[in-house]
Amino acid sequence: MGRKIQAVKGTRDLLPPDTAVWAAVERAARETFGAYGYSEIRTPILEDTELFVRSVGEGTDIVGKEMYTFTDRKGRSLSLRPESTASVARAFVQHGMHSAALPLKVYYIGPHFRYERPQKGRYRQFFQIGAELLGDAGPQSDGEVILMLVRFLSVLGFEGLVVQLNTVGDEESREAYRKGLVEYLEPHREALSPDSQRRLGSNPLRILDSKDPADHGVLQGAPRLEDFLNASSAGHFDAVCEMLDRHDVAYSIEPRLVRGLDYYTRTVFEIIAAGLGAQDAIVGGGRYDGLIEELGGQPLPGIGFAIGEDRLIEVLPERFRIEALKASLVAVAAVPPVSAAEAVALAEELRSENLPVLAELTDRSVRSALKRADRAGVKWVVLLGEQERATGTVTVRDLEQGSQETMPRGDLATYLRRSP
């Protein structure tokens, strides 16, 4: 017997019935985003490594520590995508999509890769649901993206949603703040954590969201970014807040929220939900007005977000999960001596009525068929015996209520569709 081969560390198999939950979440995303005018985009898993160095930032942990990078047979440096905003921006530039009607609204769903220590809810192959709006610099775009996210999370059943909001300003404001922050932190360099000492020269704004206790005391007296905002950046942020107020979206302003990628400008945000403990952030995103130009395109603003789907499904409200697992609500079984072929024929009739059906494919006892249906989470079992076949009827057993009734075969689809 050969050695058993297992999934690579940090990856996992997604198996039924859990995949029904994943499919239901992705269906909700497609329907919600579609209602806001978004279309799906699919980009390659493999990209030129330079794409992420130039967009995400050479000084970030993602590029410096976490990317799966290798040299192919022609000596080219390639990487498995660690995020998709850069890929969407690259596709936009490559295909000349600036000539399309703007703003362009796209969403994506798919696998991404980062080499980090596997732990609960975090994998080396992980899945993201994300969206990007390209071609509009106004605060209404920021607000609508956040409204769409709140609606999507509400569809999934999350409650107590709060948007954590900040602005990192435009390039002028951010550069002024960067200088002020470095001037403040430099005399305290030795008191900072090793990671923050390294970031002081490459990406000092990332020190603001450090989780290391050694940095918290130093940051108490740090200058506030809001004091360095120019009038344009301050006005933009105020307009975003006003839009959220108008639509009764709960939010809090978090001065130290900066997000981890170099391309962010102006609005950045995370959304948290009640009852999720310390790791209560479900989604994060922000504006990136200089990214398209950085990748060789015309100057064009953008805003987007990404949701870690693995984490999202781990904390999914139970009610949505239960409903997703009820995808196959009907089973059809023949009662011997009626053959299983008759059950398959009835199942096909119901499927033509757009009802999901689990058909018994072998001749087995009613007891065995009912047990199998119960294990599969089926609510109704339709039984077809000699008497039913002779009279043109069917018997429907409700496994949840423990009741059953007989009805004309022609009424079955309507009955199943109307029943709660």
- Structural tokens at position 299: 């100057």
Among 274, 208, 259, 267, CA closest to 241: 267
Instruction: Give CA 289 to chain center in angstroms.
Output: 22
Contacts 24+ apart (CB under 8 A), 389-393: 389/338, 389/342
Question: What's domain 328-418's architecture?
Answer: 3-Layer(aba) Sandwich (3.40)
CA distances from residue 104 to 37, 132, 134 in whole angstroms, order as listed: 9, 8, 5
Sequential DSSP letters for 318-330: HHHHHHHTTS--E
Strand ranges of the sheet holding 69-71, from the earlier edge strand across to the other edge: 46-48, 77-80, 69-71
Sequential DSSP letters for 98-115: GGSSSSEEEEEEEEEE--
pLDDT computed for residue 181 by the predictor: 87
CA distances from residue 250 to 146, 206, 243, 321, 327 in whole angstroms, order as listed: 11, 26, 11, 25, 33
Mean pLDDT by 10 residues, the chain (420 residues): 89 91 96 97 96 77 80 95 93 90 95 84 90 95 96 95 92 87 88 85 78 82 86 94 96 81 82 75 88 87 94 92 77 91 93 90 85 83 93 91 91 83
Q: Which residue has the tokens 């059943």?
A: 157
pLDDT computed for residue 59 by the predictor: 60
pLDDT computed for residue 262 by the predictor: 62
pLDDT computed for residue 261 by the predictor: 60
Q: What residues have CB less than 8 Å from 83, skipping those under 6 apart? A: 52, 56, 62, 112, 128, 261, 306
Q: What is the CATH number of domain 18-170+230-320?
A: 3.30.930.10
- Looking at the chain, the domain(s) classified CATH 3.40.50.800 span 328-418
Conformational region of residue 266, where left means phi above 0, alpha means psi within -120 to 50, and beta covers everything else: left
What's the CA angle centered on 136, arms 135 and 142, to 5 degrees? Answer: 125
- Looking at the chain, the domain(s) classified CATH 3.30.930.10 span 18-170+230-320
> What pTM was estimated for this model as a whole?
0.85
Q: pLDDT for 262-302, tens place per residue?
A: 677 899 999 998 877 656 788 999 998 888 888 888 889 99
What is d(CA 219, CA 326) in angstroms, rounded to the nearest whole number? 50
